């Protein structure tokens, strides 16, 4: 997939010039007047190599003041009135419900979780990634939204399916009224894993074998995108309401951070959503 082109996703910005924050959006979510969402790219920040330049991850090893400045730029570009709730991600399957009762506490001390759902207005949510799968879920009728972060561990634990299920249970969301977008992540052609991960996929997912292909020297290629898409369909979200970004974070070096490409020393991007 060539830089700047991905079916169902668009980028606004001036091409990555210095100081320009570029944001990708999913066309299937862009039409909802009550929703503001974005997937950040790596350009437009103040961080220097290897975090250049819009690194949003405080735990990445970058200077804290740089990350703080980057976040301020990114949240302003998205149009947020306040910084989002960013959970402390641990590659697990915990889904947190943000409501009026815990709103103040969770924004003050973000919970340890890999997905958050809410129906509160002006309560932005975000997850951070650098190859892992970012997912934004929307209930068009309630309305309500959720964000999820899925690496291979979270994928095997069905965190995306559990986020959708939590919206159904907590808010009474009807899957027929839901839509979702899987943002930029590493492609199946670039995500090589060992036998331990293959076994985890086969044990944890009924379709685990379907999203694996043999590679070289006993290795396997795992398609995290497709695995998480299947989880959204398992939650009975209509297939035509799910968009999947085809940009590969590992391949598109000028657009995205990639932990796999850099051996882990890199920045983080954000998937952001708020009920406006």
Say what the pLDDT of residue 262 is: 95
Q: Evaluate if residue 20 carries a pLDDT over 90.
A: no
Q: What is the mean pLDDT of residues 183-187?
A: 98
Q: What is the mean pLDDT of residues 100-127?
A: 98
Dihedrals phi, psi of 130, to nearest 5 degrees: -155, 55
Instruction: Report the DSSP beta bridge partners of residue 147.
Output: 116, 136
Residue 1 is assigned to a structural domain of this protein: no
Percentage of the chain beyond pLDDT 90 is 93
Residue 111 is assigned to a structural domain of this protein: yes
Residue numbers of the domain that contains 240: 9-275
Burial class (CB in 10 A: 0-12, 13-18, 19+), 64: exposed
d(CA 122, CA 139): 16
Contact 119, 143 (CB under 8 A): yes
CATH of the domain at 261: 3.60.140.10
Domains contained in the chain, number:
1
Whose CA is closest to 276, among 28, 31, 35, 30? Answer: 35
Say what the pLDDT of residue 132 is: 98
Residue 189 is assigned to a structural domain of this protein: yes
Q: What is the mean pLDDT of residues 204-227?
A: 97
Residue 4 is assigned to a structural domain of this protein: no
Q: Evaluate if residue 5 carries a pLDDT over 70.
A: no
């Amino acid at each position: 997939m060539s830089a700047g082109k991905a079916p169902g996703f668009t980028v606004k910005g001036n091409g990555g010039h210095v100081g320009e924050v570029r944001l990708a959006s999913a066309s299937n979510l862009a039409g909802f007047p009550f929703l503001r969402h974005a997937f950040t790219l790596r350009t437009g920040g103040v961080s220097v190599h290897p975090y250049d330049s819009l690194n949003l991850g405080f735990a990445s090893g970058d200077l804290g003041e740089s990350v703080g400045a980057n976040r301020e730029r990114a949240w302003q570009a998205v149009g947020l009135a306040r910084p989002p709730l960013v959970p402390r991600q641990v590659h697990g399957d915990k889904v947190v419900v943000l409501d009026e009762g815990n709103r103040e506490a969770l924004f003050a001390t973000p919970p340890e979780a890999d997905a958050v759902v809410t129906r509160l207005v002006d309560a932005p949510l975000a997850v951070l990634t650098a190859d892992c799968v970012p997912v934004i879920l929307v209930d068009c009728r309630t309305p309500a939204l959720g964000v999820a972060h899925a690496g291979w561990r979270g994928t095997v634990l069905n965190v995306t399916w559990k986020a959708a299920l939590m919206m159904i249970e907590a808010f009474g969301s009807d899957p027929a009224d839901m839509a979702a977008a899987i943002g930029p992540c590493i492609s199946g052609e670039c995500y090589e894993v060992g036998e331990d991960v293959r076994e985890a996929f086969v044990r944890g997912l009924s379709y685990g074998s379907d999203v694996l292909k043999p590679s070289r020297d006993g290795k396997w290629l795992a398609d995290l995108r497709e695995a998480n898409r299947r989880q959204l369909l398992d939650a009975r979200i209509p297939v035509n309401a799910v968009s999947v970004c085809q940009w590969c974070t590992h391949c598109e070096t000028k657009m995205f951070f990639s932990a796999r490409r850099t051996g882990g020393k890199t920045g983080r991007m954000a998937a952001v959503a708020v009920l406006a």
